[in-house]
Structure 1
Amino acid sequence: MVFKSLLACGRRICLLLGAVFVLTGCGSEWNDPYPASERGSNRIYTSFSERPKHLDPAISYSNSEIGFIAQIYEPPLQYHYLKRPYVLMPATLIEMPQVALYDKAGRLIPESAPAEQVARTVYRLKLRQDVHYQPHPAFSLNADGSPRYLNLDASQVRAIQTSAGPTALNDPGSRPLKAQDYVYQIKRLALPSVQSPIYGMMAEHILGLKTLGDQIKAAKAAQPGIWLDLDTLPLPGAVAIDDHTLEITLEGKYPQFIYWLAMNFFAPVPREVDQFYAQPALKRTNVQLDTWPVGTGPYMMVYNNPNARIELARNPNYHDERYPCHGEPADAAAGLLASCDARLPLIDRVVFTREKESLPYWNKFLQGYYDDSGISSDNFDQAIRINLNGEANVSPSMARQGIQLQTAVRTSIYYMGFNLLDPVVGGKTPEEMRRSKLLRQALSIALDQEEFISIFLNGRGEPGMGPIPPGIFGYQSGEIGINPVVYTWKDGALQRRSLKEAKELLARAGWRDGRDAKTGRPLVLNLDTTSGGLGDKATMDWMSRQLSQLGIQLVVRSTDFNRFQEKLRKGSAQLYFLGWNADYPDPENFFFLFYGPEGKVAHGGENTANYSNPEFDRLFRVMKNLPNGPERQAVIDKMLKLVREDAPWIYWFYPKSFVLQQEWLHNFKLNNVASNTLKYQRIDVARRAELRAEWNKPLRWPFMIILGGLLALLWPAIRAYRARTGLDAFGQKARGR
């Protein structure tokens, strides 16, 4: 009986291994994570790690969300895909906005007029007439012209609740874009139910927006739970002159407003869409604009399972837009002009798969199942080699696969801030301020950013020279752009000031060798931080060692994010780490972080250092109203001199993006400002299929070894059974018996 069981087991194992052997010999990749129906299709595969919380353009402010909605919505303006520095251009407009300035008497004045003379600024936007919305049931009409899907029945609601969402309904409609749609969206910024993060700021600029917000609150209080048609409430700061002309009126002068017209907050939302999603049945099932966006962009959402997969498909109604034929000088050699004048988008479908962990994503990228990839610290040594000149290149194994590396310094800065209300690192009296300034300068020298970038960032950063990162007007490279408090320029190269100079500054501050010159007490500094990132233990240990060279003791006070923010609001922090990413590529967006009226404690603003310098504030008001040019650069240079010498921050580093792209991904160029870039990218579908098959060939030899090992183990039992029964290994009567 035992022998029979062994033989039966052996036969099953052989059959199973044989089946596996046959299957792995098939033409398709045995480990392909995607449905067979997708093979050979013109789609790009990428990923996301966090489910998007908001897809409503009036709310979304997170990079993890903008990657989706920027492909769907179209604000009036966009950034040129290839040109650097970044250049604005029309998206749904026929030309750039016409800007007119008026004084208090209503007289037209030059655009160069100083801010104090400007009472109002009017932006006139002229829309293209070939822009249409994606197919959507909100636009579907009955024969009499009434909305078809405003009273959904139970079966229709059930259909919408699937991952196909509103696309599950039959006969979706569409219509042309109108200027009124932009007006409607600007009004939505004031909705209390929306809680747009930019409402407070825009209410200070857009004429009548604050009043509209008050009117909406009153209307909602009078009729709670009833959909409010925003077309019934006027907004003098946003008016549709006709279907294709829009005027936005600002109070005073705010030149940076032009950049906001390229952001999702100013993408159009039609009244019909707002009314469609206001249906109680959809609210109860969380089918909202916040989960199912509707736009005029190159793509539309067709599948939304935020825990697993989100898909965008080509918008069949997308207007005629062409790939650029000009860019930076190196773009032609990089193949970035090969698609010149091709109609966009170049890819039919975009598949986002949720990957919570980096390792599965990385392995799939190496197998060819993702088209691009970032590089985690765990995979850096496998992917990248740094040459003697400090330049990064892909490793030999990556190069053999045709994988390419793109790098770009981001329009961001990480910094260590000093709370200037603190008596040690700041102060109120002239003597306290003199001493603390020297202390901050000494710390700026002692904390070696280059070493930090090398150890903790794998070289993915550049030392900060001031608040303005590369790519933003006002930043200058080379000797003219160094921070002279921390660096010198010697023999054509950057050189950090010595620890000896830091100690001399510390002594002048009254803290020789880290002790108070009068009392002898040690200098103890408190760093408030959150766990993870720059606040992890290894980083803090490194910082403690750096400061110990000056005799300074560092106490790390780790806390949760909410408590950390509370300390900043109350001014109880002393030292802290923060970062800032450009909302738009203008120096005003960085310098305002030092503007006195933006003080965190006094005004609840973003000036977390509570820096206050009347001369800086005066220059800031001049700079923000100047156009880019030599005059503005001269003012910026004066501002940089002040914030470098006063050192309210240690300008830690400008982060650098490292992205790997597969050989078959074309027209891929890193863009630190724009997110609507998928429409430009192109896939060589045949080459991808070829390389996927090559990289995922099944390894047959392990199965052969297993099969051979099993046969070797079973053979003695087979021989014994055969001898005792006169049967062969397969249960047949042996010949000659």
Structure 2
Amino acid sequence: MKRLLSAATVVVGLCGLSGWAWAGPEAAPAKGSPDEKVLRYSFRIAETGFDPVQISDLYSRTVAASIFDAPLQWEFLARPFRYRLNTLSEMPTVSADYKTFTFKVKPGIYFAPAPEFKGVKRELVAADYVYSWKRHYDPMWKSTNLYILENFKILGLSELRKELMAAKKPFDYDREVEGLKVIDKYTFQVKTAEPMPRLVEQFTDGSTWGAVAREVIEAHGLKAMEHPVGTGPFMLGQWRRSSRIELVKNPHYREEFYSEEAPAGDAQAEAAVAKLKGKRLPLIDRVEIAIIEENQPRWLAFLNGEHDILEEVPAEFATMVLPNNQLAPNLQKKGIQMVRYPRADVAVTYFNMEDPVVGGYEPDKVALRRAISLGVDLDTEIRLVRKGQAVASQGPIAPGTWGFQKDFKSEMSDYDPARAKALLEMAGYVDKNGDGWRDLPDGSALELNIATQPDQLSRQLAELWKKNMNRLGIKTRFTPAKWPENLKAANAGKLQMWGVGWSAGVPDGDTFLALGDGKSKGQANKSRFDLPEFNRLYALQKTLPNGPERMAAMTQAQRLMVAYAPYKLHVHRIFSDLSQPWVIGYHRNVFLRESWKWIDIDLEKRRQALGK
């Protein structure tokens, strides 16, 4: 395999498949041949790269989840959600006190071909997972997911990180620690300082906890984002940053067959199972992903048959495509299929708690954030901008995850400009110089600077923000940039305010409370909120089994987040995906980032429909 790197053509991590004779169990059709099954797809936001330790955005993780394997995996169709073995030979052994977890890797799983393996099939072993998870503790990688492992209080790793950082030494991957170690070739063990009843289910996400090969990482160093090599069903073919991503079938992928079970009453899933049961995975040969930031060209590409799937029907087309939340009759006649689902997520605007204008814990600062929140017209946002494809958030925890309470009500969903103005007046945010805009209590100018993106939805949300803040007499400025640039700046604490979405990788509310955890600053916690009582409650609920005591701690933590308002909680979104009539088996599991290996293409039906 050749890897080409050309800055002149802005092609990074370009893998050419010429020069190698793959020894895979089934020879894939030649690229471009009539028999090649290609899934054509689009992202509306550009990726950042494909190294599990460095990525946190949805789009990069969607790709990485098909390249890297976590030990466990959520079942594609099962409802209620349940996980199963992925690269393990048996379910992890968990001690009675929830402090010791033993994982046994299944022999005979191999990494995708890579030059670093020097022509030898490289087997996945326990040491690969130990190395991969240790990387999150290495300061060099600036892992945005370190907080997850640190919250598990894995014995010895945080201490090793602090020791080496203090001594200004490189991270020592070869030093054994009690909390994460190899037992034998295929067995590794995790030990925690406190009970962690839900630790195992976290390790279902290959985009974060997937195994990498040490020799590949060491060969590429800081360019690891451009050279992903895993044991998953696909491998990186070509990548033109922010433009095009191509994945090809991994010829070393293990023998795995379609074994999904359809939920009762789900006709679409039942039809897929009937057609695909027992077939070798992955079912397609290649995935082509175009980065198309504007919604209209994305929609037209799907409508014209250039793309096989349209993930997330754009809100501006919802009334045309989904009248009364049903697929439009003209699309039904074409045989287009729809999957509609609530995503376990929350859309927020965060306030940087370290910013001199909107940050801080003093009463006047809290009043400012609460007033801004009360001045946001969520009803208009849901009706006009999101076209009814969302429900208002009361707290950060999303429906469909443990910890969500239907009867939890807060002022986050309230739109009350009169109360907002009263709060501002009481806290001293008044017009002191007569220019028509409110000033800070000390007389200096009050201006919000909100980061945004140059796409249509972001523009519409910005326009609504401006109208809302104008009603309150608060001057607002918007600074547009590409999403990856905003993410980098947000992680570094350089943005005053920014609107983002946060999704759960497992059906548990912990990930939403992590938005306020002080230890997660610059990672999940973009607001940099750091309140001791909240931190205590967050740490407490992690150690408790699911039950009334944990629910009480999570509810109180939510109330604190609402009271101090480091975030304006907007909505929990509802999405609808469309697939062409020649796509077989498309469905959506919101906790499973990987889905492409279970999808098939009816080539004859596609040819007939497109006249090709």
CA distance in structure 2 between the aligned counterparts of 1:303 and 1:540, rounded to whole angstroms:
35
Distance 1:291 1:219, change over 3 A: farther
Identify which of 122, 133, 149 aligns with 2:100.
Answer: 122
In structure 2, the partner of 1:155 is: none
Deviation at residue 91 of structure 1 after TM alignment = 1.0
In structure 1, the partner of 2:610 is: 692
SS at 1:669's partner residue? coil
CA distance in structure 2 between the aligned counterparts of 1:553 and 1:384, rounded to whole angstroms:
38
Distance 1:530 1:187, change over 3 A: closer
In structure 1, the partner of 2:183 is: 241
Amino acid at match of 1:413: V
Task: Map 1:583-622 onto structure 2 (within 5 A).
Answer: 584-595=506-517, 606=525, 608=527, 610=529, 612=531, 614=533, 616-622=534-540
CA distance in structure 1 between the aligned counterparts of 2:546 and 2:571, rounded to whole angstroms:
25
Deviations 1:316-347 (A, max 9, x none): 54133442225465366663543574244152
2:294 is aligned with 1:294:
no
Task: Map 1:200-599 onto structure 2 (within 5 A).
Answer: 202=149, 205-210=153-158, 233-255=175-197, 257-263=199-205, 264-271=207-214, 273=216, 277=219, 290-303=225-238, 308=244, 310-327=246-263, 330=266, 335-339=271-275, 341-356=277-292, 358=294, 361-374=298-311, 380=317, 384-387=321-324, 392-417=325-350, 432=364, 444-477=373-406, 480-481=407-408, 483-485=409-411, 499=416, 503=418, 506-507=421-422, 523=438, 526-532=447-453, 539-546=461-468, 552-559=472-479, 573=496, 577-582=499-504, 584-595=506-517
Deviation at residue 203 of structure 1 after TM alignment = 6.1
In structure 1, the partner of 2:581 is: 663
SS at 2:255's partner residue? coil
SS at 1:589's partner residue? helix
Distance 1:84 1:466, change over 3 A: farther
SS at 1:335's partner residue? helix
Deviation at residue 647 of structure 1 after TM alignment = 4.7
Amino acid at match of 1:542: L
Deviations 1:44-71 (A, max 9, x none): 2224567755333333333332233222
| Contact 2:49 2:225 survives alignment (8 Å) | yes
CA distance in structure 1 between the aligned counterparts of 2:388 and 2:491, rounded to whole angstroms:
30
In structure 1, the partner of 2:12 is: none
CA distance in structure 1 between the aligned counterparts of 2:236 and 2:423, rounded to whole angstroms:
62
| Contact 1:323 1:344 survives alignment (8 Å) | no
CA distance in structure 1 between the aligned counterparts of 2:41 and 2:263, rounded to whole angstroms:
26
In structure 2, the partner of 1:134 is: 112
Identify which of 539, 544, 553 aligns with 1:626.
Answer: 544
Amino acid at match of 1:373: L
Distance 1:317 1:447, change over 3 A: closer
CA distance in structure 2 between the aligned counterparts of 1:47 and 1:564, rounded to whole angstroms:
20
In structure 1, the partner of 2:6 is: none
Deviations 1:359-378 (A, max 9, x none): 55544422323210146759
| Contact 1:364 1:370 survives alignment (8 Å) | yes
Amino acid at match of 1:54: G
Amino acid at match of 2:450: T
Amino acid at match of 1:96: M
Deviation at residue 403 of structure 1 after TM alignment = 1.4
Deviation at residue 440 of structure 1 after TM alignment = 5.8
Deviation at residue 555 of structure 1 after TM alignment = 0.6
Deviations 1:182-201 (A, max 9, x none): 22323444556545444576
In structure 1, the partner of 2:94 is: 99
Amino acid at match of 1:123: F
- What is the TM-score with the length of structure 1 in the denominator? 0.65
2:97 is aligned with 1:110:
yes
CA distance in structure 1 between the aligned counterparts of 2:165 and 2:357, rounded to whole angstroms:
46
Deviation at residue 466 of structure 1 after TM alignment = 1.2
CA distance in structure 2 between the aligned counterparts of 1:138 and 1:383, rounded to whole angstroms:
51
CA distance in structure 1 between the aligned counterparts of 2:553 and 2:162, rounded to whole angstroms:
39
| Contact 2:374 2:419 survives alignment (8 Å) | no
| Contact 2:74 2:84 survives alignment (8 Å) | yes
| Contact 2:61 2:593 survives alignment (8 Å) | yes
Q: Which moved more, 1:651-660 or 1:83-92?
A: 83-92
In structure 2, the partner of 1:66 is: 61
| Contact 1:55 1:292 survives alignment (8 Å) | yes
Amino acid at match of 1:590: F
Deviations 1:584-621 (A, max 9, x none): 44322222333466678xxx98272746373x444333
| Contact 1:56 1:290 survives alignment (8 Å) | yes
Distance 1:242 1:649, change over 3 A: closer
CA distance in structure 2 between the aligned counterparts of 1:418 and 1:512, rounded to whole angstroms:
18
SS at 2:578's partner residue? strand
CA distance in structure 1 between the aligned counterparts of 2:351 and 2:380, rounded to whole angstroms:
21
| Contact 2:527 2:566 survives alignment (8 Å) | no
| Contact 1:421 1:571 survives alignment (8 Å) | no
| Contact 2:67 2:233 survives alignment (8 Å) | yes
CA distance in structure 2 between the aligned counterparts of 1:570 and 1:311, rounded to whole angstroms:
34
Distance 1:504 1:459, change over 3 A: closer
Deviation at residue 312 of structure 1 after TM alignment = 0.9
Distance 1:386 1:174, change over 3 A: same
| Contact 1:596 1:617 survives alignment (8 Å) | yes
Kindly tell me the number of residue pairs found equivalent between the two proteins: 569
Deviation at residue 246 of structure 1 after TM alignment = 1.2
Deviations 1:1-46 (A, max 9, x none): xxxxxxxxxxxxxxxxxxxxxxxxxxxxxxxxx9995324333222
Amino acid at match of 1:242: D
Distance 1:636 1:328, change over 3 A: farther
2:120 is aligned with 1:173:
yes
CA distance in structure 2 between the aligned counterparts of 1:641 and 1:193, rounded to whole angstroms:
36
State percent identity of aligned pairs. Answer: 24
Deviations 1:109-149 (A, max 9, x none): 634xxxxxxxxx3210022234333344544xxxxxxxxx3
- What are structure 2's unaligned runs of at least 5 residues? 1-28, 440-445
SS at 1:624's partner residue? helix
| Contact 1:506 1:512 survives alignment (8 Å) | no
Deviations 1:199-244 (A, max 9, x none): 576467333435655898899979xxxxx995x5434433222222
CA distance in structure 1 between the aligned counterparts of 2:165 and 2:550, rounded to whole angstroms:
42
Deviations 1:437-491 (A, max 9, x none): 5x766654543212112222233322112111122212233xx24x25366xxxx
Identify which of 67, 77, 81 aligns with 2:76.
Answer: 81
CA distance in structure 2 between the aligned counterparts of 1:426 and 1:302, rounded to whole angstroms:
45
Deviations 1:380-415 (A, max 9, x none): 16951432xxxx233343222211232323232222
CA distance in structure 2 between the aligned counterparts of 1:426 and 1:58, rounded to whole angstroms:
29
Distance 1:688 1:628, change over 3 A: farther
CA distance in structure 2 between the aligned counterparts of 1:386 and 1:676, rounded to whole angstroms:
30
| Contact 1:43 1:347 survives alignment (8 Å) | no
In structure 1, the partner of 2:16 is: none
Distance 1:631 1:378, change over 3 A: closer
Q: Which moved more, 1:124-133 or 1:72-81?
A: 124-133
Structure showing greater Rg: 1
